[in-house]
Amino acid sequence: MRTYRYPQQNEWKEIIQRPHLDLSKLHATVTGVLNDIKEHGDEAVKKYEAQFDHVTLHSLAVSAQEMDEAEHLLDDKLKAAIILAHENIHAFHAAQKFEGKPIETRQGVTCWQKSVAIEKVGLYIPGGTAPLFSTVLMLATPAKIAGCSEIVLCTPPNSEGKVNPAILYAAQVAGVNRIFKAGGVQAIGAMAYGTESVPKVYKIFGPGNQYVMAAKQQVSLDEVAIDMPAGPSEVCVIADHQANATFVAADLLSQAEHGIDSQVLLITTSEEKLQEIQEEVNRQLQALPRKEMAAKALENSNYVLVSDLDEAMKLSNAYAPEHLILQVEDYEALAEKVINAGSVFLGKYACESAGDYASGTNHTLPTHGYATAYSGVNLDSYCRKVTFQHLTEQGIREIGRAVELMAEAEQLDAHRNAMTVRIKSLKA
């Protein structure tokens, strides 16, 4: 990790820079795969599964027998943990239900909204370097609460053509309708265009690497909506003089182990704490089974020493992290200054892992600086708001002339006339 001590603001651009691939080569590869799937369907998906996931598939669909096997393969304690997490995620998202209230904007003019579930949604669950069964709960649970009628899930199988049993069990608990063995760009293409096996959906959800992010962005241009351009995982930790160095190091490494293109950022106001945390990161790294991957991610990452917490918060808002941990004494006061972040963790005990698994909040969040404009996945992500309005005769009297004048000023005579004929009808 690079270390910056009291950087000037003109150095911040360098500090908050994300790691990236050769985008020109990436987009060309993604476009080629998507076009192939659009034209050749299942055949192309199976071809890319063989190429990228090193597996020969005769069928893309997960069978009922495989679902039954998964439940028996899973440890009872893990199943109980999945159920506990699902209950908390369900409670948090169910509390977000929208209730549209009619409002009379003028006498005789009533307007309101109704929340309607997106009928067909597709969930992408990474399964390469880590089988993210927790993401199944995060994506499928609010979809089920919202009332989505078809919940489709794609996830890469292992070299034997099997999907991780925890992914299958979590899907069963959360209410997924259909599961398919497909990963990466080919999974996004299959759900966006539809194939002989995989149904076309209206919106795609789920995290992934930069190839998945690029595929989601491309299909969103003309085929399907997406949740957000989520890419490699990241965390920013703000730590003051009283922060627990062991906890901070563990939080930084918990994100670093996601993948070589992940990134972590430490911002601290204490030189002494900076040195403690650096030593702890080095010590804990050696004990990680995924230490080589984490070490690569740390090469993309930064330690930053700043003058005070106001400066720390300004730098964090400029970075717009996916996860923000405030390990500071007065975390409530600092939390008030958060503008750009996906999900915020307050105090020394609120580790990011809690939100990743079982606190109840959603862990599918905007990365790569998109927290400046996007929210994390929530119940509204699976709904549309349909607007209604009703006008009485009095309503026409209240706003009719204003509508005529505005339409006339925009030179839209047919618009004006639609109101004019109604005004005249009242005089008949």
Q: Can you spell out the DSSP letters for 155-205? A: E---TTS---HHHHHHHHHHT--EEEE--HHHHHHHHHH--SSSPP-SEEE
Q: Give the residue among 189, 252, 227 at the shortest CA–CA distance from 44.
A: 189
List the structure tokens of 393.
């005769």
**Residue 138, CA distances (Å) to 167, 232, 365 in order:** 12, 17, 11
Annotated catalytic residues are: 322-323
Q: Is residue 250 part of a domain?
A: yes
Binding-site annotation, residues for NAD(+) = 124, 186, 209
Q: Is residue 14 part of a domain?
A: yes
Binding-site annotation, residues = 124, 186, 209, 233, 255, 258, 323, 356, 410, 415
Instruction: Answer yes or no: do 316 and 330 share one domain.
Output: yes
Instruction: Answer yes or no: do 301 and 327 share one domain.
Output: yes
Tokens 């076009």 locate to 35
* Beta-carbon count within 10 A of 36 CB: 18
Instruction: Answer yes or no: do 221 and 247 share one domain.
Output: no
Portion of the chain with pLDDT greater than 70, in percent: 99
Q: Can you spell out the DSSP letters for 18-56? A: PP---HHHHHHHHHHHHHHHHHHTHHHHHHHHHHHS---
Binding-site annotation, residues for substrate = 233, 255, 258, 323, 356, 410, 415
Residue 154 three-state SS: strand
**What CATH number is associated with residue 10?**
3.40.50.1980
Among candidate residues 188, 213, 228, the one where a domain is terminated: 228
CB contact set of 377 (below 8 Å; sequence gap of 6+): 138, 139, 142, 205, 227, 228, 362, 364, 365
Instruction: Answer yes or no: do 48 and 175 share one domain.
Output: yes
Q: Give the residue among 211, 256, 290, 217 at the shortest CA–CA distance from 53.
A: 211
When pLDDT is averaged across residues 154-170 and rounded to a whole number, the result is 95
Read off the amino acid at residue 233: S
Instruction: Answer yes or no: do 217 and 346 share one domain.
Output: no
Tokens 């009922």 locate to 64
pLDDT tens-digit series, residues 234-284: 999 999 999 999 999 999 999 999 888 899 999 999 999 999 999 999 999
| pLDDT for the residue 371 | 96
What's the rounded Cα separation, in Å, for the pair 389 and 385? Answer: 13
What's the rounded Cα separation, in Å, for the pair 111 and 113? Answer: 7
Element (H, E) at 294: helix 291-299
Instruction: Answer yes or no: do 210 and 132 share one domain.
Output: yes
pTM for the whole thing?
0.93
Q: Is residue 110 part of a domain?
A: no
Res. 108: pLDDT tops 90: yes
Res. 21: pLDDT tops 90: no
What is the pLDDT of the chain when averaged over all its residues? 95
Q: Is residue 178 part of a domain?
A: yes
Instruction: Answer yes or no: do 199 and 301 share one domain.
Output: no
* Beta-carbon count within 10 A of 75 CB: 10
| pLDDT for the residue 133 | 96
Instruction: Answer yes or no: do 292 and 412 share one domain.
Output: no
Among candidate residues 203, 228, 253, the one where a domain is terminated: 228
Instruction: Answer yes or no: do 266 and 397 share one domain.
Output: no
Q: Is residue 213 part of a domain?
A: yes
Instruction: Answer yes or no: do 351 and 402 share one domain.
Output: no
Q: Is residue 382 part of a domain?
A: no
| pLDDT for the residue 205 | 97
Number of residues that this document lists for the chain: 428
When pLDDT is averaged across residues 211-229 and rounded to a whole number, the result is 91
Sheet of 323-327: strand order equals 2-5, 302-305, 263-268, 234-239, 323-327, 343-346
Among candidate residues 228, 251, 266, the one where a domain is terminated: 228
CB contact set of 25 (below 8 Å; sequence gap of 6+): none
Q: How confident is the model at residue 129 (pLDDT cuts 50, 70, 90)?
A: low
> How many domains in the chain?
3
| pLDDT for the residue 411 | 98
Instruction: Answer yes or no: do 170 and 207 share one domain.
Output: yes
Rounded to the nearest 5 percent, the helix, strand and coil shares of the chain are: 50, 15, 35
pLDDT tens-digit series, residues 369-400: 999 999 999 999 999 999 999 999 999 999 99
When pLDDT is averaged across residues 61-67 and rounded to a whole number, the result is 96
List the structure tokens of 387.
């607007």
**What CATH number is associated with residue 399?**
1.20.5.1300
CA 361 to chain CA centroid, nearest Å: 12
Instruction: Answer yes or no: do 252 and 224 share one domain.
Output: no
Res. 207: pLDDT tops 90: no
| pLDDT for the residue 127 | 82
Q: How confident is the model at residue 23 (pLDDT cuts 50, 70, 90)?
A: low
When pLDDT is averaged across residues 43-57 and rounded to a whole number, the result is 96
List the structure tokens of 91.
């409670």
* Beta-carbon count within 10 A of 156 CB: 23
Contact by Cβ (8 Å): 224, 187: no
| pLDDT for the residue 64 | 95
Binding-site annotation, residues for Zn(2+) = 255, 258, 356, 415
Its domain, for residue 212, covers 23-100+117-228
